């Protein structure tokens, strides 16, 4: 049984109420789902004996700029048993710019989610330590959003304060 069939059957069987959208563009399996179910689905695909997607490789987001659901949060997860990769995608709207954190399922998602927060301003609920990853703490903007100019914003990076 190929990967798409296996994952499709498993997910449909386990979550009959969730609407999944499967695609395998360039032979890479991608599953789009509602952001409400991201934690449940993640923990299922990690713990299921036939799937075992245990290695979370990457969490990031895409800014679509003009679309209704402005952001898509993207997860890449590898299964060491099947030697294949799955991509989970969940849309996040700008008005409710948050999604549940998966750092309790894959510990490595901690820093990836911090980075995504830093770059896109998406809040991860229940994240243990959500602060900026690369930019300074007092930085006010989210650099990878499309409206942030390439040259940066003059004066947005303050010089270090003097102590006395």
Give contact residues for other proteins (rule: CB under 8 A).
25-26, 28, 30, 54-58, 60, 62-63, 74, 76, 80, 83-85, 87, 106-108, 110-112, 119, 129, 131-137, 143-144, 148, 150, 163-164
Shortest Cβ 21–other proteins spacing (Å)? 14
The minimum distance between CB 17 and other proteins, in angstroms, equals 27
CA distance linking residue 96 with residue 110, whole number of Å: 21
Of the pair 15, 74, the CB lying nearest other proteins is at: 74
In the bound state with other proteins, the residue whose beta carbon lies nearer, of 100 and 110, is 110
Cβ 54 to other proteins shortest distance, Å:
5
Q: Give the Cα separation of 149 and 42 in Å (integer).
A: 35
By beta-carbon proximity to other proteins, the closer residue of 13 and 150 is: 150
CB of 13 to other proteins, least distance (A): 26
Rounded to whole angstroms, the Cα distance separating 86 from 59 reads 12
Q: From the CB of 148, what's the least distance to other proteins, in Å?
A: 8
Give the nearer residue to other proteins in terms of CB position, either 15 or 82: 82
Residues in the chain: 164
Cβ proximity to other proteins, 97 vs 135, nearer residue:
135
How far apart CA 102 and CA 71 sit, in angstroms, is 17
């Amino acid at each position: 049984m190929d990967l798409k069939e296996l994952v499709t059957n498993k997910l449909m069987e386990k979550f009959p109420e969730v609407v999944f959208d499967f695609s395998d563009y360039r032979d890479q399996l991608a599953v789009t789902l509602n952001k409400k179910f991201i934690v449940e689905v993640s923990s299922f695909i990690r713990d299921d004996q036939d799937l075992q997607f245990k290695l979370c490789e990457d969490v990031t987001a895409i800014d679509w700029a003009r679309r209704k659901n402005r952001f898509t949060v993207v997860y890449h997860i590898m299964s060491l048993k099947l030697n294949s990769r799955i991509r989970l995608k969940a849309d996040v709207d700008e008005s409710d710019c948050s999604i549940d954190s998966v750092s309790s399922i894959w510990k490595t998602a901690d820093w990836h989610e911090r980075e995504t927060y830093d770059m896109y301003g998406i809040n991860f609920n229940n994240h243990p330590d959500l602060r900026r990853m690369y930019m300074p703490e007092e930085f006010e903007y989210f650099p990878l959003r499309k409206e942030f100019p390439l040259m940066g914003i003059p004066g947005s990076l303050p010089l270090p304060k003097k102590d006395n």
